[in-house]
């Protein structure tokens, strides 16, 4: 919104300048200024400024109607924006995989993940990577096991149905502290999460399932789950406190 305020101030300033110039020009015209005199130049300048104000006001109005007009120019069809959630089934999608610290990931995020982990450890944090890529078959086994215990309806609130788990994309990872491996909301109080949530976007990652957005993501708050979307999108998502669903929706308007 800071961008909007600056424009508003600029528009007001130009408007004042136009009225001042037109006022001076009008007074001078009453004295019988000749053509192409400084007075007429002022009048012409005033007209140009008036047009500039009109154009700027139109731009300000457009900003007001679309507060996310500054969203990055990205292709939502790129691999890094694949969306898996309760409403988007990716079937048996399988990326090209590679290992990092015992976990599998889409080979294209190995480098940024490694850089983020290295940076966190340089701050004295004890990084533990877990639950990277999970195949469709693995997710089926996990879901069926829970379904046999609780029934499918309840199981779906605990384990994602096959084809709807983000872990199948190979673009995410659960990141915790070696000394605090509990995966619950209290993890947000650890130095690990606090550092990760402040710096993950620098490496192209986002907090995928933020607090209070369960109705949008379909997933409980998970301060341990980080997802790769590329640096440009990650910076925008984290700065504007968006979910991946909300971010992608901006490009459907």
Catalytic residues: 222
Please give the helix or strand (H or E) that residue 224 lies within, else none: strand 222-228
- The DSSP 8-state label assigned to residue 98 in this structure reads E
Please name which of 165, 144, 167 lies closest in space to residue 155, comparing C-alpha atoms: 144
| H-helix segments, 66-181 | 110-122, 136-150, 152-155
Contact 222, 212 (CB under 8 A): no
Contact 243, 213 (CB under 8 A): yes
Structure tokens at 5: 């305020």
Structure tokens at 41: 């130049």
The Cα 99–Cα 107 span in angstroms is 8
Backbone angles phi, psi at 20, to 5 degrees: -65, -45
Q: What is the dihedral of CA 181, 185, 190, 195, to 10 degrees?
A: 110
The Cα 142–Cα 250 span in angstroms is 34
**Residue with tokens 């640096």, as numbered in its chain:** 231
Return the ∠ at Cα 96 (arms to 93 and 101), rounded to 5°.
115
The Cα 237–Cα 201 span in angstroms is 9
């Amino acid at each position: 919104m800071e961008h909007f305020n600056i424009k508003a101030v600029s528009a007001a300033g130009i408007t004042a300048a136009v009225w001042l110039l037109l006022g001076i020009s009008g007074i001078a015209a009453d004295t019988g200024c000749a053509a192409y005199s400084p007075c007429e130049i002022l009048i012409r300048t005033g007209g140009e400024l008036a047009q500039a104000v009109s154009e700027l006001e139109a731009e300000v109005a457009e900003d007001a109607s679309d507060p996310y007009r500054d969203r990055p120019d990205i292709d939502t069809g790129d691999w890094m924006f694949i969306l898996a959630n309760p409403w988007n089934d990716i079937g048996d999608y399988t990326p090209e995989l590679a290992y990092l610290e015992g976990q599998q990931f889409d080979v294209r995020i190995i480098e940024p993940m490694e850089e983020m982990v290295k940076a966190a450890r340089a701050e004295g944090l004890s990084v533990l990577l877990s639950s990277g890529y999970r195949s469709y078959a693995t997710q089926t086994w996990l879901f069926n096991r829970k379904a046999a215990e609780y029934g499918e309806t309840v199981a779906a609130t605990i384990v994602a149905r096959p084809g709807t788990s983000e872990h199948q994309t190979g673009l995410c990872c659960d990141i915790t502290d070696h000394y605090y491996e509990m995966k619950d909301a209290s993890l947000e109080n650890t130095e690990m999460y606090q550092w990760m949530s402040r710096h993950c976007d620098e490496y192209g990652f986002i907090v995928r399932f933020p607090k209070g957005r369960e109705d949008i993501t379909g997933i409980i708050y998970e301060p341990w789950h980080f997802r790769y979307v590329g640096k440009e999108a990650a910076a925008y998502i984290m700065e504007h406190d968006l979910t991946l669903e909300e971010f992608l929706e901006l490009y459907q308007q």
